[in-house]
Each structure stands twice: as structure tokens, then as C-alpha cells.
Structure 1
């Protein structure tokens, strides 16, 4: 009997040790490559040079924001090590930089890399490697495909949704419009065109009278604008990146072509597009927004705008306050910090995607009132609301309600 009790006692003791060990194991920190007790290594790819270099300021803003986070103690005690490379908006270069980040630098994730063609070039690679390609800086609809690409997630409202909102406005206000389209000849440009055609429905065939595409290697799009003026169009849909958007606005003023002008949201920056093109030439352009316009005096007492100004003053004084890309970089960086904080001590790539796909009604200081960040395991489109706006004087004036898109992934 004593022997049995002895054995039972030993067994109970062993069991107690096992339970205790399991509890410790459960509470232990979990890391993938790129994360330690002191650091979170984040990769990024930006066009600091080349035809889309106006967007390079996004990467610089993000670096400045992470400097702020580090100065304030980091994320759950860990400092962010932000490794950002230039790809010149060239997909082959993007592939090279992505491999370098994943295989050589060993980052935990790749965050907010810019452009539809560049991100398309690395999407399969990132998913094969099971490395988060998180909050990509492009509104292509394809980023919301968690079934096929569970490691890739968008951020901003998708291009097709935006185009559909313009189509709704045109059908209501100008049902007999003749539309000319200028678009970048890649997935980014074609996504916008598809959205407009889908939004116009059966009327697309009769309403769209001209479609012109351009290549990012072109030095200028002046000849495309001249060609479109020769059509019967009274509405112009301008699907261009900042450099070409400014060229289009300037050329239209020069040749006195005055259709109702819709400009895609990614080129609505006053600092990078409107001011260089000229305020006078930009009057009455219609675009859309989900971020607060830093040049709009209505936000001067807004808590979110005050925090943004404090950030600029202390961590990014060289940043151009009226460049919309600065507010964009600031806001998406806040989104990443929110996700990483929620990861706690489980800094695995799998948990990062799990937390990114579990955002509920997140409000960020730079977003317009009513615009909230929402994701789920089946919805990888964090922001899907926009408000129309018209350029008046030296600022954008928003009008109508905040509109939710009808477009899913």
C-alpha cells in the first residue's frame, strides 16, 4: 500500500510539474524571425526615385513616426527597426528588394510597399514565404483576396469602389455625359477604368467616348491630353499618378479644355499635385477623400490634427504639411502600431495577420469623421468609405455624405 501511495505521490508531483511547465510554455514569448525581446524589424519598399517618386515621402513619414514610437518606449518595450529600400517603381527591382528584406535582412513583415505593379510582382513570393505583405500602399481590388492570398492585405479604399462612386455621381448629375478617360497602362489604371464601367453599367458603352493610356516611362502626357480634347467629351476621368496628374491639369489649362474633371484620390494631394499645377488651373476638379485635408481650416481645433502637427514639429519638421502623402504615411503607420500592440508577446507572422484581420471600428486621428477601419478573416479591405470633394480657391471642399462602397474583394 505505501508503495502504491509512493507511486501515486510521485505521479501527482510529476503531473504538477507538467501542468506548471505547460502554463509557463503558454505564457512564454513567441517570435518569428525579425522579432526579439528588444526589436521588431519591419521591411518597406518605396519609389524614392523614378516616375512615382512623389510618393517617396510616405516612407520618410513612416520612418519619422516609428522614431516617435521608439522615443516613447517602443511597442510593448520593443523598438521598431524600419528597413526601407528604393525600387524606383520598377517591378523587377521590387522583387530584388523584397528578397533582400526577407532572406538577407530577415524582417518580420513587409509593410505598406507602394504601387500596384510593384506589389503584384512580389505577391506570390510573399505568400509562398508566408511573410505578411501588410497594408500595401495601393488601392487595387486584388489585395482583398484572403482565400488565395492570406498574407496580403490592402489599406486604402479600393480603386473600383472609388470609380463606382464617381459613376453614381455622373449618372445622377450628368446622365448624358460624354466621358474621356486617361489611365496608366497597368493594373492600377485598369482597375479604375473597370470600376467606372461597372458603375455606369449598360450606359458605359455610349457614355465613354475615348480611352487613352500612357506609360510611366513617358516624359510627358501632353499629347494624350491634346488628343482627348479633340473628342466630344464633356467629362474627363484622370487616372494618373502625381507627376502626370499635375502635367494633365497644366496642359488642360494651357489648351483651354474645360470638361468636368474627376481626379483619382491617389493624386489629390495639394502639395504634390494641385499647387505645382496651379490653383487657378485646378478649380472645380472633383475627387474623393477618406483622410482629413491638412490645408482645411475647419480642422484647426481638431484633436487628431493637433496631434499630427505636434508629430511634424518634433519628428518630421522637413515634411510638407500640405502633401496628402504625409498624412497618409502617418495614418497607416498608426494602423500598423495598433496591430503590433495587439500582438502582445506573440510576434509571429501568423499572429500579425490574425490581429490585422480582427480590427473593429478603429478610429484614427487622420481619418474623416465617420470613416473607420474594419477587417475580418474574410474581408481584407480595411477602409471602404469615401466622401466626394471639389477644389475651390486653395482647398478641397467636401460635399455629400460619407459613402460606403458596394465593392467587395
Structure 2
């Protein structure tokens, strides 16, 4: 009898162990909609057409980068299925595409959708659905709000911090400046303007003219003429690439030569400076947090070599002078880092948890000293910038890497 007890006891123990192991195995693999043993479905929305179509190359770079990752075996053995739609930078269209991605395509998350007005239009929807709106391609300050919008996270330095850095520079080096500001009449433009005024503080009266334009306007020439006639000797140019190039051209055409500050979202040599004419862009000041692919100092840099090898193989037709291609390369590494960290727990909750746990991450392409850091209370991954000045056919860095908590 005792032997039977022993055998039954051993069998019970074996069954218990096998049940425990299968529980562990299933606990190790957790999936939400959009993830499985073999694939991870990622959604994306880009302005491939419309007034901000210069940014469309970001989506093309990301698609190429994920092809590279898939060719190398995927992420923890899973292939990325990247689904990218055009919204023409039109918020109602963004809403339509986001619903399609979440409800029809059933993606795990939406990654790096572009633009402040488009992302604003889907922020509440994404958060109510509890679907990550991850590393949005806009520097609006409001993406860093984990308390009210725990499913939305930015990526690049925020606009208010950037413009505060310009304001501090003007106060220190041009205390008697008469400033003219041109800004896009939406959340993106107003965010920059607010940061700039905050940075000027009690000296905000140095701004003698503020002029806004609509993205639907074909040209901003009349705005530039108005700014010149105000007598401003410092120009803060808060525009997207198409309008930034127009402004630089028009300034030269009418002989207006203020000290010109250009927001970094339009500092691309390929899509802004070159079309506007190198000779027209001399001494413009902007800021940067990643390496300029056209800068000869990075010629033998390992990150630049890796970038060029990636493009040779997966996106040979890319315009290598376009900073947006470098941006797409860097932010894609951010997503891969987060998904790798998720392991076999590919739930939306864990995606956000890992995204909020980045520590001194340095994707290839960032400037020396710039690192990616997040926490459950800080959804602003990159918060450092360096001032740059346009000379000849390239940007030159000057001064120190500045943290975006300058002035606030």
C-alpha cells in the first residue's frame, strides 16, 4: 500500500510541476491585439501628401529600418509588420486613419505619427482605447503628461524648451533686439511662441511684431514683407519645411537681413536650406540634438557609417542631406529598444512601462552627450540641444549641449 501512495504522490507532484511549468510558460508570453509568437503589428500615420509632405521621408525611413530588423531575425524572433497611412497633415483624416489602424488593422500601437494638430486630434481616442501613441513626431510640450494621458509619449526635445534656449541667447547677446515672430497658427506654432515669451520673461516686449500664417496658404511672402516693414532686427521663424524655405528665400529677395532663428524641425539642409539657396541661409541659428549627415566632421564616425550602410542596403534612394532621414533612423531604434525590453510580454501596458524605463539609451546618430531618459513621471525622452549656425554649406555647432530645463 505505501508503495502505491508513493507512486500516486509522485504522479501528483509531477502533474503539479507540469501545471506550474505550463503556467510559467503562459505567464512568460502575454499578448494584446497586434502581437503574436511570430509578429508585431505597428501602425503609423504620416503626411505623404499635403503641406507637410517633406516629412513623409520619415515614414519611408522607418519602413526601411524595420525591413532591416526583419531581415536580421526580427525582435525576439518576431517580425515587425509596419502599416503606414497618409493623412495629408489633416486632423480629420488622422482620426480616420487612427481608427482604421486600431479597429480594422488591429495594431499593437501607433508609432511616431507626425504633427501637433494631427496627434492632438487622436490623443483622447488613443488614451480612451488604451493603445500606445508612442514617440509622436512633434515636440509639443503636452505629450509629456503621463498623469492625464498615460498612453501618449513624445520623443524629440519639446518646442517650449527649444525656444527658451533661443530667448536666453538673445537676452544675453542682443539685449536691445527688436524681434519679429512668424508662427504657424496652430498648437505647434503657439507652443513655440509660448516658450519663447516665457524665456524672454519680463523682456517679452522686445517682440515688436507677431504674425501668423495658415498651413493652407500657398505662400508666406506677404508675411515676410510685413515683418521687414516692422523694423525688426531679429527674426524667429516658427515654420514647417515648405514655409521655412520660402521665408529664407523671400528674406534674401527683399534684402531683409535680421539675426534669423529657425526652429529645429525645419533645420534640414536637404528639404529646407538647399532649396532656399545656401547663399541665402548664411548665419541662421537653429539647434540640433542629432548628427547632421552633411557635416564632414562625422565622415568616419561609426554611427554615420552604420547609417550609410543601412541606407545603401534598405533605402538607397534616400536624400542623405535630409535630416528627417536621420530622425527616422534614430526614433526607429527607440521603438526597437522598447520592444526588445518587452520580451514575451507584448501587452500595451508593458509597452508603455518599458517606454517609461529608458535609462541613458544612446541610439546611433545622437550628438555626443545627448541621451534618452524616461521615467513613469517623465515622458520627454530627449531634453538636450546644441545651438548651431549655418556656414558655407553646413551647420556648425557652438557652445555647450544645453538641457531643456533651461528657464523652466
Bucket of the pairwise TM-score, normalised by the shorter protein: over 0.9
Aligned to 1:96, the other structure's residue is in SS state helix
How much does 1:311 deviate? 0.7
Quote the Cα distance in structure 2 between the aligned partners of 1:396 and 1:180: 23
Quote the Cα distance in structure 2 between the aligned partners of 1:30 and 1:365: 30
How much does 1:26 deviate? 2.6
Structure 2 runs not aligned, ≥5 long:
none
Quote the Cα distance in structure 2 between the aligned partners of 1:408 and 1:98: 36
Quote the Cα distance in structure 2 between the aligned partners of 1:21 and 1:81: 29
Alpha carbons of structure 1 residues 6 and 345: separation in structure 2 relative to 1, 3 Å: same
Quote the Cα distance in structure 2 between the aligned partners of 1:20 and 1:231: 75
How much does 1:406 deviate? 1.1
Identify the residue that residue 302 of structure 1 maps to in structure 2.
Answer: 301
**Cα pair 1:390 1:396 within 8 Å, conserved:** yes
- How many residues were matched structurally? 407
How much does 1:16 deviate? 4.4
Quote the Cα distance in structure 1 between the aligned partners of 2:315 and 2:223: 38
Correspondence list, 1:231-242, <5 A? 231-242=230-241
**Cα pair 1:46 1:87 within 8 Å, conserved:** yes
After TM superposition, the score normalised by the length of structure 1 is: 0.96
How much does 1:25 deviate? 3.3
Identify the residue that residue 32 of structure 1 maps to in structure 2.
Answer: 32
1:145 equivalent in alignment to 2:135: no
Q: How far does the alpha carbon of each residue in 1:104-160 deviate from its partner, in whole angstroms, 9 at most, with x for none? A: 000010000000000000000000000000000000000000000000000000000
Identify the residue that residue 397 of structure 2 maps to in structure 1.
Answer: 398
Identify the residue that residue 23 of structure 1 maps to in structure 2.
Answer: 24
**Cα pair 2:55 2:324 within 8 Å, conserved:** yes
How much does 1:301 deviate? 0.8
Aligned to 1:95, the other structure's residue is in SS state helix
Aligned to 2:381, the other structure's residue is in SS state coil
Identify the residue that residue 175 of structure 2 maps to in structure 1.
Answer: 175
**Cα pair 1:160 1:407 within 8 Å, conserved:** no
Q: How far does the alpha carbon of each residue in 1:332-379 deviate from its partner, in whole angstroms, 9 at most, with x for none? A: 011101111111111111111010000000111110000000000000
Quote the Cα distance in structure 2 between the aligned partners of 1:282 and 1:167: 20
Identify the residue that residue 353 of structure 1 maps to in structure 2.
Answer: 352
Structure 1 runs not aligned, ≥5 long:
none
**Cα pair 2:199 2:407 within 8 Å, conserved:** no
Correspondence list, 1:236-251, <5 A? 236-251=235-250
Identify the residue that residue 189 of structure 2 maps to in structure 1.
Answer: 189
How much does 1:24 deviate? 3.3
Quote the Cα distance in structure 2 between the aligned partners of 1:402 and 1:383: 12
Q: How far does the alpha carbon of each residue in 1:255-304 deviate from its partner, in whole angstroms, 9 at most, with x for none? A: 00000000000000000000000000000000000010001000011000
Structure 1 residue runs of 4 or more that deviate by more than 6 Å after TM superposition: 5-8
- Computed over aligned residues only, the root mean square deviation of the Cα atoms, in angstroms, reads 1.9
Correspondence list, 1:83-102, <5 A? 83-102=83-102
Aligned to 1:81, the other structure's residue is in SS state strand
Quote the Cα distance in structure 2 between the aligned partners of 1:12 and 1:312: 56
Quote the Cα distance in structure 2 between the aligned partners of 1:78 and 1:17: 27
Quote the Cα distance in structure 1 between the aligned partners of 2:30 and 2:244: 46
How much does 1:62 deviate? 0.4
Quote the Cα distance in structure 2 between the aligned partners of 1:251 and 1:365: 36
**Cα pair 2:164 2:407 within 8 Å, conserved:** no
**Cα pair 1:237 1:261 within 8 Å, conserved:** yes
Quote the Cα distance in structure 2 between the aligned partners of 1:18 and 1:87: 49
